[in-house]
Amino acid sequence: MPIIGVYQFSNKFMKCASSSGKRNISAEAYVKQAVNMINKDVIKAVSKLYNISANIDDYVFPVPRAVGADFPNSNGDCFTHEELTRYSNKHRCLVYQTFRNVPIHIEHKANNKKEARGFIPDAEYISTDPRDKYVLALCAVDSKKDPALAEGLVSGDIRYFSMGCVCEAVQCSICGNKFTNDRDMCEHIRPTRRMSYFGGKQAYEKCLGVSFQELSVVGDPAYTKAATQYILNRHLF
Ligand SMILES: [Zn+2]
């Protein structure tokens, strides 16, 4: 991956490489600033929860797109701009910011927090292109706990991610009805019909009351753009 910058971080220098051909200045500026804002007290606290390193020097930082706004992913789930940028009174932050401090897992095997490979120190909503809005996640992956994963992420051989979330309700894109459980769902968004077309309109679920729970490294992402955009590291793989 081409190196686009060298930043000072934690009093050392760090390379930043970009995997996307198209440069996004606001995303790059965010990454540079965010990596210097990582809170060492938070690392210490989550290191116990997730059984990961308390030493910031042990981490590599892939920065993937975590979720896109305003279109359905291949599972028929849609996260609207309105929902992602909504203030959640329950979490005291914006909905996309509930990505903060969630664990990073492999293929959504998220039952055991101690198996986490890292966590997400911060997330940002990138909306410079109104047709391509998305959440960018600054991921911290513990290279001591899973050296092969860290090496694969740095080389770009491993690059796809997928989010895990819970939502309080879903809204049908066709009839607009809202449902809080699967039993009551309208015909449009039953699992067998979801993503099919009704009178030229595609049926999918708009997720409401969202809380992000984890981000996983996966082989086959539901949101196909959920790949590493930047990678920061000072390890020499
Ligand atoms: Zn419906």
Residuewise pLDDT in 10s, the chain (237 residues): 777 777 777 777 788 888 776 778 889 889 988 988 999 999 999 999 999 999 999 999 999 999 999 999 999 999 999 999 999 999 999 999 999 999 999 999 999 999 999 999 999 999 999 999 999 999 999 999 999 999 999 999 999 999 999 999 999 999 999 999 988 999 999 988 999 999 999 999 999 999 999 999 999 999 989 999 999 987 544
How far from the centroid of its chain's Cα atoms is residue 116's Cα?
15
Cα(13) to centroid(ligand 1), Å: 53
The identity of residue 102, as a single letter, is V
Report strand pairing: 134-142 vs 59-68: antiparallel
Q: If you write DSSP's letter for every residue of 190-231 in order, what string do you get?
A: STTTTT-EETTEE--EEEEEEEEEEEEE-SS-SSTT-BEEEE
Cα(205) to centroid(ligand 1), Å: 9
Cα(210) to centroid(ligand 1), Å: 20
Nearest to 163 by CA among 81, 230, 69, 82: 69
Cα(89) to centroid(ligand 1), Å: 28
Domain containing 174 equals: 3-233
Q: What is the pLDDT of residue 93?
A: 98
H/E stretch holding 149 reads helix 147-155
Q: How many domains does the chain have?
A: 1
Nearest to 180 by CA among 209, 211, 214: 209
User: Do residues 233 and 14 make contact, with C-beta atoms less than 8 angstroms apart?
Assistant: yes
Phi, psi of 130 (to 5 degrees): -60, -20
User: Do residues 128 and 122 make contact, with C-beta atoms less than 8 angstroms apart?
Assistant: no
Cα(72) to centroid(ligand 1), Å: 15
Cα(188) to centroid(ligand 1), Å: 5
Nearest to 218 by CA among 108, 74, 79: 108
Q: Show the CA angle centred on residue 217, arms to residues 130 and 189, nearest 5°.
A: 60
Cα(166) to centroid(ligand 1), Å: 20
